[in-house]
């Protein structure tokens, strides 16, 4: 398991592994927002938590097609499916690797981009905490979406169509927690619910993803 | 015969119109596809019969 | 004798052929009488004016939109557990019907909301949940279309339907949390005797029955179509091998 994690991380960091692309996308998206809605700082600061959450979500989505597609093409997935390690565990590890290479950098970058959007000072801590709690769910749901569509040629757009509706609850609670934090309201309820979604996804979705993957590579 | 719909006539009529239109589209598409599929099946069955036991 | 004998396509088709004429006829009667009664013979509501007449399509369409998904969920489960092809194909056949009903529910709601709430659309929990349901239908149908092998497609869409149901339910509660409602409460409920007066209630029930029967008839017919397509495919494969 750890070997698989290290392998995935090493592949991602290597040149051409696409590490940092999601981060760059996140940055560009946040820079584009003031161009589209105008530079009024009051408006920007009120939409900042939502925009940052949406940006992180889209950056996460963008990197999903690399999650399984390359391994599917070169046959690694077939090996994993017949390995002694259960496929469920292997997929959980791959989701975790995706989170380390995509989710974690987004969490770290978010406060800096928050400065660009004039995020109120109270909001930074809650933004980071909500993203920290929510991005694992995004990675795991994405892993499920990738497992569903891995056998389909040009499945990238289809995967977005499947994954984005699944992201709805995570986005609602995450952005709500960040928004409430920014205006000094009580954040406990959405944060707990967000953590619940993340834990539930981590516990159950590897099984769904493994089931879907077995159906494809049977 | 026609009931007096008052000032909301457009809304009510368009709601009914859109609904009946969409349902008609659904019915027509379903039957078209169904008929095509059933003729294709009949043709395939005839051909199978002509080739004898398969 | 058990219900599972209808998992055999031949038995299913025979039963379907016997039931369908009644279902179509009853659906036509229910919809024509229900909508006709509602449209021509009910009074206007004292606040909503004649827009109350939209309820006779809006509520049945929403009812079918939700129950079609539940039916797909059950059919998907049966397919995953017992591997009956008819079940998977019935789920496939129901999806576009549910999609159209979702659209009808959304559109009639918008048309009603414009004069009543002063807006076509509001980010109200019920409306938002329905929009999300619409997205789930789209994804489900798109996945069926995209996978070439029919059995794999049935497998993958079933898993999507299961996971999607869980997330759709979560979204339902998430949007309740996220926004305050504008939409009135349930028109129909089991625990309360009635929420609307008899004049509106009777044609509405008739219309709901009509829509439900229409759904049944359509799904039976469309499942038959899918079975025919599947069988044609199998025959053609065999023909290619022997000739």
- The residues on A that touch C, with CB distances below 8 Å, are 144, 148-149, 151-152, 155, 158, 161-162, 164-166, 168-169, 172-173, 176, 189-190, 193, 197, 205, 208, 211-212, 215-216, 218
- DSSP H helices, C42-149, are 55-82, 85-117, 125-146
Computed over every residue of chain A, the mean pLDDT equals 87
With a pLDDT cut of 90, the percent of chain C lying above it is 41
Of C146, C155, C175, the CB nearest to A155: C146
Closest CA in chain A for residue C146: A152
Beta carbons of C239 and B15 less than 8 Å apart: no
Of C139, C159, C173, the CB nearest to A211: C159
C88 Cβ contact list (under 8 Å, min separation 6):
C75, C76, C79, C154, C157, C158
Residue A206's pLDDT is 92
- What's the mean pLDDT in A5-10? 77
Residue A65's pLDDT is 80
Of C143, C155, C162, the CB nearest to A162: C143
Chain B residues close to C232, C-beta within 8 Å: 37, 40-41, 44
Higher pLDDT, C197 or B38: B38
A188 CB neighbour count, 10 Å cutoff: 9
Band of residue B2 on the pLDDT scale cut at 50, 70, 90 = low
- How far is C135 from C139, CA to CA, in rounded Å? 6
Task: Out of A180-189, B13-22, C111-120, C131-140, give the one with best mean pLDDT.
Answer: C131-140
Task: Out of A41-45, C92-96, C199-203, give the one with best mean pLDDT.
Answer: C92-96
ipTM: 0.86
Domain that holds residue A71: 2-217
Band of residue C193 on the pLDDT scale cut at 50, 70, 90 = very low
Chain A residues close to C176, C-beta within 8 Å: none
Beta carbons of C178 and A172 less than 8 Å apart: yes
Beta carbons of C177 and A190 less than 8 Å apart: yes
B52, C240 Cβ separation under 8 angstroms: no
- What's the mean pLDDT in B12-40? 91
> In this predicted model, what pLDDT tens digit does every residue of A36-89 receive, in sequence order?
988 888 888 888 999 999 999 999 998 888 788 878 888 888 888 888 888 888
Closest-CA distance of chain C to residue B50, Å: 10
Band of residue A142 on the pLDDT scale cut at 50, 70, 90 = very high
Answer positive or negative: Cα dihedral of A15, A20, A22, A27. Answer: negative
Residue A150 has pLDDT above 70, yes or no: yes
Residue C191's pLDDT is 44
* B9: exposed, middle or buried (Cβ count in 10 Å: 0-12, 13-18, 19+): middle
Of B22, B25, B45, the CB nearest to C235: B45
* Number of domains chain A contains: 1
Residue C61 has pLDDT above 80, yes or no: yes
- How far is A108 from A153, CA to CA, in rounded Å? 34
Chain C residues close to B6, C-beta within 8 Å: 44, 49-50
| C-alpha closest to that of A66 among A105, A119, A115, A14 | A14
Residue C3 has pLDDT above 80, yes or no: no
A64, A162 Cβ separation under 8 angstroms: no
Closest-CA distance of chain C to residue A169, Å: 5
Higher pLDDT, A105 or A9: A105
Closest-CA distance of chain A to residue C174, Å: 6
Closest-CA distance of chain B to residue C89, Å: 14
Chain C residues close to A155, C-beta within 8 Å: 146
Band of residue A183 on the pLDDT scale cut at 50, 70, 90 = confident
Closest CA in chain C for residue B13: C54
Is C131 part of the contact surface with chain A (CB cutoff 8 Å)?
A: no
Closest-CA distance of chain A to residue C170, Å: 6
Band of residue A20 on the pLDDT scale cut at 50, 70, 90 = confident
Chain A residues close to C160, C-beta within 8 Å: 148, 162
Chain C residues close to A152, C-beta within 8 Å: 146-147
Angle (nearest 5°) at CA A10 between A8 and A12 = 70
SS3 labels along A9-55: HHHHHCCCCCCCHHHHHHHHHHHHHHHHHCCCHHHHHHHHHHHHHHH
- How far is A33 from A47, CA to CA, in rounded Å? 10
Chain C residues close to B51, C-beta within 8 Å: 239, 242-243
Closest CA in chain A for residue C138: A161
With a pLDDT cut of 90, the percent of chain A lying above it is 35
Band of residue A16 on the pLDDT scale cut at 50, 70, 90 = low
Is C92 part of the contact surface with chain B (CB cutoff 8 Å)?
A: no
Residue A173 has pLDDT above 50, yes or no: yes
Q: N- to C-terminal Cα distance for chain A?
A: 22
> In this predicted model, what pLDDT tens digit does every residue of C153-190 receive, in sequence order?
999 999 999 999 999 888 888 888 777 656 666 555 44
Beta carbons of C50 and B23 less than 8 Å apart: no
- What's the mean pLDDT in A117-134? 90
Q: How many Å separate Cα B1 from the centre of its chain?
A: 29
Residue A17's pLDDT is 56
Q: Give all chains having 3 or more CB-to-CB distances under 8 Å with chain C.
A: A, B
A213, A147 Cβ separation under 8 angstroms: yes
Is C120 part of the contact surface with chain A (CB cutoff 8 Å)?
A: no
Residue A4's pLDDT is 78
Higher pLDDT, A76 or B34: B34
> In this predicted model, what pLDDT tens digit does every residue of C6-56 receive, in sequence order?
778 888 888 888 999 999 999 999 999 988 888 887 777 766 777 778 888
Closest-CA distance of chain C to residue A202, Å: 13
- What's the mean pLDDT in B18-44? 92
CA distances C152 to B1, C79, C80, C147, Å, are 55, 12, 11, 7
Is C155 part of the contact surface with chain A (CB cutoff 8 Å)?
A: yes
CA gyration radius for chain C? 20
Q: Where are the beta strands (DSSP E) in A43-154?
A: none
Of A148, A152, A155, the CB nearest to C160: A148
Residue C192's pLDDT is 43
Q: Which residue has the tokens 């759709």?
A: C168
Residue A170's pLDDT is 93
Q: Give all chains having 3 or more CB-to-CB distances under 8 Å with chain B.
A: C
- What's the mean pLDDT in C138-161? 91
Residue C66 has pLDDT above 80, yes or no: yes
Residue C184's pLDDT is 66
């Amino acid at each position: 398991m750890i070997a698989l994690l290290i392998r995935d991380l090493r592949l991602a960091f290597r040149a051409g592994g696409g590490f940092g692309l999601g981060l760059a996308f996140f940055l560009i998206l946040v820079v584009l927002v003031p161009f589209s809605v105008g530079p009024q700082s009051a408006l920007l600061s009120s939409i900042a938590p939502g925009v940052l959450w949406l940006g992180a979500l889209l950056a996460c989505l963008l990197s999903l097609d690399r999650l399984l597609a390359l391994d599917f093409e070169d046959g690694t997935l077939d090996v994993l499916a017949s390995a002694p390690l259960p496929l469920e565990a292997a997929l959980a590890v791959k989701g975790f690797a995706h989170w380390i290479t995509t989710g974690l950098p987004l969490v770290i970058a978010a406060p800096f981009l928050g400065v660009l959007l004039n995020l109120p000072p109270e909001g930074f801590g809650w933004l980071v905490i909500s993203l920290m709690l929510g991005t694992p769910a995004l990675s795991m749901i994405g892993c499920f979406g990738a497992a569903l569509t891995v056998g389909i040629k040009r499945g990238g757009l289809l995967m977005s169509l499947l994954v984005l509706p699944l992201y709805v609850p995570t986005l609602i609670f995450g952005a709500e927690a960040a928004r409430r934090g920014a205006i000094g309201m009580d954040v406990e309820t959405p944060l707990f619910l967000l953590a619940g979604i993340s834990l539930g996804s981590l516990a159950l979705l590897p099984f769904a993803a493994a089931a879907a993957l077995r159906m494809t590579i049977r | 015969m026609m009931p007096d719909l008052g000032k909301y006539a457009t809304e009510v009529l368009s709601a009914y119109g859109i609904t009946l239109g969409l349902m008609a589209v659904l019915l027509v598409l379903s039957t078209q596809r169904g008929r095509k599929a059933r003729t294709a099946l009949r043709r395939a069955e005839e051909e199978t019969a002509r080739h004898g036991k398969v | 004798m058990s219900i599972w004998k209808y998992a055999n396509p031949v038995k299913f088709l025979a039963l379907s052929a016997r039931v369908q004429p009644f279902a179509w006829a009853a659906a036509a009667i229910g919809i024509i009488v229900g909508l006709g009664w509602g449209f021509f013979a009910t009074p206007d509501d004292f606040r909503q004016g004649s827009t109350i007449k939209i309820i006779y399509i809006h509520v049945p369409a929403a009812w079918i939109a939700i129950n079609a998904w539940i039916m797909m969920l059950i059919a998907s489960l049966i397919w995953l557990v017992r591997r009956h092809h008819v079940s998977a194909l019935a789920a496939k056949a129901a999806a576009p019907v549910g999609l159209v009903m979702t659209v009808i529910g959304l559109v009639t709601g918008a048309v009603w909301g414009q004069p009543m709430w002063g807006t076509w659309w509001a980010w109200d929990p019920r409306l938002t949940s329905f929009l999300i349901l619409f997205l789930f239908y789209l994804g489900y149908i798109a996945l069926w279309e995209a996978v070439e092998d029919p059995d794999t497609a049935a497998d993958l869409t079933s898993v999507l339907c299961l996971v999607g149901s869980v997330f759709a339910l979560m979204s339902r509660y998430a949007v309740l949390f996220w926004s305050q409602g504008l939409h009135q409460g349930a028109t129909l409920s089991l625990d309360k005797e009635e929420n609307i007066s008899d004049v509106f209630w009777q044609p509405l029930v008739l219309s709901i029955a009509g829509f439900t029967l229409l759904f049944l008839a359509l799904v039976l017919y469309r499942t038959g179509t899918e079975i025919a397509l599947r069988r044609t495919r199998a025959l053609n494969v065999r023909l290619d091998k022997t000739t």
